[in-house]
């Protein structure tokens, strides 16, 4: 497995080795030991989630506050998405900046999004099945979000805005300046 730090070094692209032949392919999509070797500490994932969405569905930007903050390891099992992580750690040198990575069933890339980041994705293909591992359980009371089109974030979602499909909740999220945030000194992964 290959690990690559992005322009925000705490957000990591994970690329598994894929072994294919005339029968199809095989790939190890997660190896705790290799991730530990790269990061220097373990992440204890406790829940797997999956969603199916059609083109233009935009889910996000979501996060959970402590003590239920989550690290996510995300991937597209079918189709393609633009996956986005926004640094919402007050005092961070990359505060308010984002990383956007195309994840697809074809490229097999995954994105490791640590605590202290808002996360979202938009479906670029006709449909997509999106999976993610998290290291903390969902807590409705700690669920928060940012408005996906906050102009201060400058996110190019790669699709015309008239085809976006959003939940009612995601159309009413606050701007970054009004959001509940993390402190840069809080632990990212523990």
Q: How far apart are CA 17 and CA 30, in angstroms?
A: 11
If we measure between CA atoms, which residue out of 117, 87, 80, 115 comes closest to residue 101? Answer: 80
Verify whether residue 22 is a known catalytic residue: no
Q: Which residues have C-beta within 8 Å of that of residue 40, sequence separation ≥ 6?
A: none
Per annotation, catalytic residue among 62, 63, 119, 137: 62
Per annotation, catalytic residue among 63, 98, 119, 132: 132
Q: Which residues have C-beta within 8 Å of that of residue 72, sequence separation ≥ 6?
A: 111, 112, 113, 119, 132, 133, 134
Residue 74, phi-psi category: left (phi > 0), alpha (psi -120 to 50), beta (remainder): beta
H helix intervals, 16-151: 32-39
Verify whether residue 62 is a known catalytic residue: yes
Catalytically active residues, by annotation: 62, 132
């Amino acid at each position: 497995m290959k690990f690559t730090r992005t322009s925000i070094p705490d957000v990591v692209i994970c690329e598994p080795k894929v072994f294919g032949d005339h029968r199809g392919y095989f790939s190890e999509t997660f190896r705790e030991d290799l991730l530990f070797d790269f990061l220097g500490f373990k992440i204890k994932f406790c829940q797997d989630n999956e969603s199916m969405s059609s083109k233009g569905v935009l889910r996000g930007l979501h996060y959970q506050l402590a003590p239920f903050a989550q690290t996510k390891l995300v991937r597209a099992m079918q189709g393609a998405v633009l996956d986005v992580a926004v640094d919402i750690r007050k005092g961070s040198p990359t505060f308010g900046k984002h990383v956007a990575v195309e994840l697809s069933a074809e490229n097999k890339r995954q994105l490791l999004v640590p605590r202290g980041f808002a996360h979202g994705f938009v479906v670029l293909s006709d449909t997509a099945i999106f999976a993610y591992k998290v290291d903390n359980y969902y807590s409705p009371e700690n669920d928060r979000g940012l408005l996906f089109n906050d102009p201060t974030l400058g996110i190019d979602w790669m699709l015309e805005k008239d085809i976006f499909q959003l939940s009612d909740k995601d159309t009413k999220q606050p701007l970054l300046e009004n959001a509940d945030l993390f402190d840069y000194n809080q632990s990212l992964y523990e």
